[in-house]
Structure 1
Amino acid sequence: MRLRNLMILTVIVPLFVALVVFSFVAIKALEDNVRSKLETEVEIITRALSTSLSYAVARDSAAPLEEALQSAFSFHRIYGAYVFDVQGREIYGLGLGKNLFSPAEIQSVIERDDLYSNYRQLDGWTYYSALIPLRTQDGNVYGVLQVNRLNTGIENYTGFISIVAVLVFIIGAGGIVLSIWWGFRRYIERPLNRLLRVMLLVEDGDRSQRASVEGPVEYRRLASGLNGMLDAMAEKDRDIDARRRREIELEKRLRKSKKLAELGVLAAGVAHEIGAPLTVINGQAQRLARRDVIGDDERARLGRIRGEVERIVEIVRQLMELGRQHNVEKGRQSLDHLVASAGELVEEELEPRGIQLEVELPTPALEVMVNGQQIVQVLTNLLRNAAQAPDVHVIKVRAEREGSEITLCVEDDGPGIPASHHHQVFDPFFTTKPVGQGSGLGLSMVHRIINDHGGTIGVFDSALGGAGFEITLPLSETASA
């Protein structure tokens, strides 16, 4: 059952029933009070007239009798007064209601020897009549006095008043119910429906919904409480999403660390097994290259053999570096100095190709808590990779501070990295270069160094049109922790 109907049935209806009962009881009490008052007045008038008539009869004249009866009409609502003898015959009378009582009833009053009163109907009129025996001065009964009051006062209208009261009550009750219904609908039901609509939309998944804070104070407080709860839920959802992302990132790092550790074990075994043979190959090739009996072509081939041996040795070294636990020795380093050092190391690769290096760093210069040599190695690898990409004319290095972290980006205007390869660029041995031109371990080494510093690195599509790498590093040990 709706709240509005429940309120009407449990509050308004019982209240109206109580008011109806009270009204009918009040009207009935008023009617009885008026009727009792008028009956008492008739009886008092009758007794007073009986005394006057006793004196009039003693004077043995009709004039005093007529005067006494006429005096009864000076009282309000007295419409008839008659004197009957002991046989019930009329002696003298004035007004209406002569035949209300039969001679036998009049004689019974004499026998009762006391005042008798009752309501009688005659010719469509209602009378209230009182009969009292008349006595002479010596106490003998010589007749009966009848006083008639026509029932035309308020008692005739009590029924009409009751009907009017009921109609007024019904109209008033209808108005009150309508007012309560309108007020309930406007100030209770509509605000509740607005709150319910917001809750249903939130239940359907629209967490951006908020209740409008308007209406009575109670509903404004309720709407504010609901909005606060939704804001708290949204904040919790954001925390959960952020925690989930961190957990996913940590899981990825864990898998990558596990992979690198396994790779380090494998690299250590490989280095142990092939280190000696590579040394022998490299020594023999060097010895053969020194002989004068071989030609330039053979000497060039021996040089290539030595170059490939050194490349194998470097790859094994990088593999061992990836799998080894590193204790990073950090110190305060100027970011401007680190970027400048990396630029100098790759300058020989940029100038022949006409590549321009643009640097945008914050002012004043920032200091970061890092291992300077390793961060220079990271920047050098990223700059070298950008320089080796085809159709690159501009490489841009920019940095900005965000709270307790610094964000460092390296971008180029080359062809970029396909989106399908973004999640693989930091995997060992993954490379987009032709066979023999890259080991696929450079970015893996960069990823390991940034992780060792408590930072993050990601790849994105640069606004310049090529690839971009975003590095986030803490500015202090506290932020790193």
Structure 2
Amino acid sequence: MRLRNIIILTVLVPLFLILLVFSLVAIKSLEDNVRSKLQNEVQIITHAIGTSLSYALERDTPEALQESLHSAFSFHRIYGAYVFDTNGQKIYGLGLGEELFKPEDIRKVAESGEGLGAYRQHERWNYYSALMPLTTPSGETQGVLQVNRLNTGIENYTGFISIVAVLVFTFGAAGIVLTIWWGFRHYIERPINRLLGVMEQIEKGDRSYRAAIKGPVEYRKLSMALNGMLDAMAAKDADIEARQQKEIELEQRLRKSKKLAELGVLAAGVAHEIGAPLTVINGQAQRLARRKTIGDDERAKLDRIRNEVERIVVIVRHLMELGRQHNVEKEPCRLTDIVANARELVEDELTAQQAHLEVDLDDPDATLMANAQQLTQVVTNLLQNALQASPGGRIRLRARRHDGELHLTVEDDGPGIADAEKSQVFDPFFTTKPVGQGSGLGLSMVHRIVNDHGGSIGVFDSALGGAGFDLTLPLKETQPTV
């Protein structure tokens, strides 16, 4: 059912019915009031002349009886006055309406001693007639008085007035309904159809369609609200798309982390197997270096062997650490302390290379549940990589809080990292440095520590022109991602 029909049936029709009932009740009340007034007037007239008539009957004086009856006609619209005996026989009377009551009715009034009033019709005339017993001072009934009063115009036409009122009300109500129907169609239904048209276009896939801001104030507000909702939905869709892209990136990082963990386990096994032979080589080279029979050239070669063995031992230790899942002992630690410790560790290199480090922390007092020593190692490694990529250049360390996480970035203005190499920077033994200047395990260890803390790390192109590393850590206790 259409909205306008619902409004007509549920609002207007009950309202008109209530008004109709109220009008009929008002007309009925008017009619009852007129009738009551008529009855009271007749009763007053009857009692007014009843006393003198009783006296005339008791004295049996016809002249007084006639005079009293004539006095009744001095009242407005009194058309008949009669005196009957106790048997219902007329003694004397004047005017119209003598036969309004039967003798039996008159005898009953005489016997009961109580008056009677009723509406009667006689010869196309409407009367209100009252019967009153005429009693002596001792209480004996000696006759009955009948007074007839002719109905007024309004009394005769109250029924006709009711019919006319109902007809007028019906036609008026029909006119009101038609007017409201036209106004609803023009000012309500058409704007709604315009809004429905907008929604249908959007349903078909045209998300750029917007409602026209016109019409009554309410519809302009509704159109603006609809457009605002569509704009919000568009923004939400863009946000969802961005989140989905982020989830894809996180999934890629997760696969990367699993791959790194598998490589770390394999590397740790290999490292364990070569650890013992390296110890033997180092010990034998040290014993040979102590002999006095060898020359300086041989001794220098033995020292070089020992240095390379120590380098291998460090790599082996890193490999073993890389392949082991740590139970990180966490405690509350302040971000500013971690950054300060890392900066202190690279301060000499910063000074030596005359590099500029910018530190921007939106909340230096931010507290993490983490291993402060390991996080200091992470920040230190990232700063050292930036120094090696941009000697004497510009380095920026920033930290921001967002949705219960800490986002820390380290950027430089060096040559950056090629797109083809970004997916490999966290792999063990991958390095862009010349041979002998890096083991390729620093960023792998960083990745491992971050994962142990339940965070993530990625690489991006910095606005400074070089490479940037984005580190995300939870501010609350969480489980490792791998």
CA apart distance, 1:243? 5.5
Mapped pair 1:337 → 2:318: no
Q: Against the structure 1 CA distance between its residues 393 and 239, is the aligned structure 2 distance closer, same or farther, given a 3 Å change threshold?
A: closer
Deviation at 1:362?
3.8
Aligned residues: 304
Change (3 A) 1:194 1:416: same
For 2:446 and 2:356, locate their aligned partners in 1 and report how far apart those are by CA, in whole Å: 23
Deviations 1:309-351 (Å, cap 9, x if unpaired)?
A: 2222222222222222222221111222211211222223222
The percent of aligned pairs where both chains have the same amino acid is 65
| Alpha-carbon distance in structure 2 between the residues aligned to 1:287 and 1:479 | 48
Quote the residue 2:413 is aligned against: 413
Query: Are the structure 2 counterparts of residues 272 and 480 from structure 1 closer, same or farther at C-alpha, using a change threshold of 3 Å?
Result: closer
Alignment of 1:47-66 (within 5 A): none
Q: Distance in 1 between matches of 2:458 and 2:231?
A: 31
Equivalences for residues 417-428 of structure 1 within 5 A: 417-428=417-428
Please say if residues 392 and 413 of structure 1, whose CA atoms lie closer than 8 Å, have aligned partners that are also in contact. no
TM-score by length of 1: 0.54
For the 8 Å contact 1:428–1:440, the answer to whether it is kept is yes
Amino acid at match of 1:305: I
1:311 is matched by which residue type in structure 2? R
Q: Write the distance in 2 (CA, Å) between the matches of 1:477 and 1:389.
A: 34
Q: Which has the larger radius of gyration?
A: 1
In the other structure, the counterpart of 1:388 is 388
The Cα offsets for residues 5-54 of structure 1, whole Å up to 9 and x where unpaired, read as: xxxxxxxxxxxxxxxxxxxxxxxxxxxxxxxxxxxxxxxxxxxxxxxxxx
What pairs up with 1:28-427 in 2 under 5 angstroms?
Answer: 192=193, 196=197, 199-200=200-201, 203-204=204-205, 206=207, 208-212=208-212, 214-215=214-215, 230=230, 234=234, 237=237, 240-241=240-241, 244-245=244-245, 247-362=247-362, 365-427=365-427
Query: For the residues of structure 1 that align with 2:257 and 2:364, how far apart are their CA atoms?
Result: 36
Q: 1:393 to 1:249 in 2, by over 3 A?
A: closer
Q: Distance in 2 between matches of 1:414 and 1:202?
A: 50
TM-aligned CA deviation for residue 274 of structure 1: 1.2
**1:78 aligns to what?**
none
CA RMSD of aligned residues (A): 3.9
Describe the superposition over 1:284-324 as per-residue Cα deviations: whole angstroms up to 9, x where unpaired: 12222222233333222222222222222222222222222
In 2 relative to 1, CA 319–195 (structure 1 residues): closer, same or farther, beyond 3 Å? farther
Cα 1:350–1:229 change in 2 (3 A) is closer
* Matched-pair contact (CA < 8 Å) for 1:202–1:209: no
Q: Work out the CA distance in 2 between the residues paired with 1:480 and 1:301.
A: 45
**What's the TM-score, normalizing by structure 2?**
0.53
Instruction: Note closer, same or farther for the CA distance 1:364–1:338 as it changes in structure 2 (3 Å cut).
Output: closer
**What is the CA–CA distance in structure 2 between the aligned matches of 1:211 and 1:448, rounded to whole Å?**
53
In structure 2, C-alpha distance between the alignment counterparts of 1:223 and 1:442, rounded to whole Å? 58
Residue of structure 1 equivalent to 2:474: 474
> What CA deviation, in whole Å up to 9, does each residue of 1:417-446 have, x standing for no partner?
234433332233221111221122211211
* Structure 2 contact 336–364 (Cα < 8 Å) conserved: no
Letter in 2 for 1:468: G
* Bigger mean CA deviation after superposition, 226-235 or 384-393: 226-235
Q: Secondary structure at the match of 2:407?
A: strand
Question: For 2:317, what is the secondary structure of its paired residue?
Answer: helix
The answer to whether the 8 Å contact 1:416/1:465 transfers is yes
CA contact (8 A) 1:342 1:377 kept: yes
Q: Could you tell which deviates more after superposition, 244-253 or 452-461?
A: 244-253
Give the aligned partner of residue 448 of structure 2. Answer: 448
Instruction: Show structure 1 runs of 5+ residues with no match.
Output: 1-179
Distance of aligned partners of 1:223 and 1:328 in 2 relative to their CA distance in 1, 3 Å threshold = same
Q: Which residue of 2 aligns with 1:104?
A: none
Specify the code of the residue in structure 1 equivalent to 2:306.
Answer: R
- The verdict on how the C-alpha distance between 1:188 and 1:477 changes in structure 2, with shifts beyond 3 A counting, is same
What amino acid is aligned across from residue 327 of structure 2 in structure 1? N
Q: Aligned partners of 1:187, 1:260: CA distance in 2, in Å? A: 65
Deviation for aligned residue 1:371: 0.9
Deviation at 1:394, TM superposition (A): 2.6
Cα deviation 1:257-277 (Å, max 9, x = unaligned): 321332233123212321221
